[in-house]
Amino acid sequence: MSSLDNSNGSVPPPAAVVSEKSQKTSNKVTKPAKPTKPTSERMAESIHLVTQLADVGIGKTHPHMIAFREILNKWIREPDFSYNGRVDFDAYGRRGDLILPRTPGHVASIRLRAL
């Protein structure tokens, strides 16, 4: 019997080989994460937007306003969420261009337009 054979006649498994690639460190430079707007600032800006819409006569319980507030709630809860798009208020003959920024230094805004 050869030295490679064990008592049951099979060849022993090879020793674990560690590749050079797994031993090297990555040369990639990671960028620091951009700061996100604090939750308290997002909350204050959201309240201001809802108040502005209420001041022009859009009811707080109207389905379009509820959908708008759901977008705001997601923006408040999720730090990496931002929104730049249109929100329709068809029943009031208006649509809003909504901007909810992710980074500090930019203010949330909505610009209402007639349909």
Would you kindly state where each structural domain of the chain is located, as residue ranges? 39-114
Please check the confidence at residue 71 and state whether its pLDDT lies above 70.
yes
Dist CA 79 CA 60 (whole Å)? 25
Please check the confidence at residue 77 and state whether its pLDDT lies above 90.
yes
pLDDT in tens, 13-53: 555 555 455 455 556 666 667 788 899 999 999 999 999 99
Give the chain's length. 115
Q: What is the mean pLDDT of residues 67-73?
A: 95
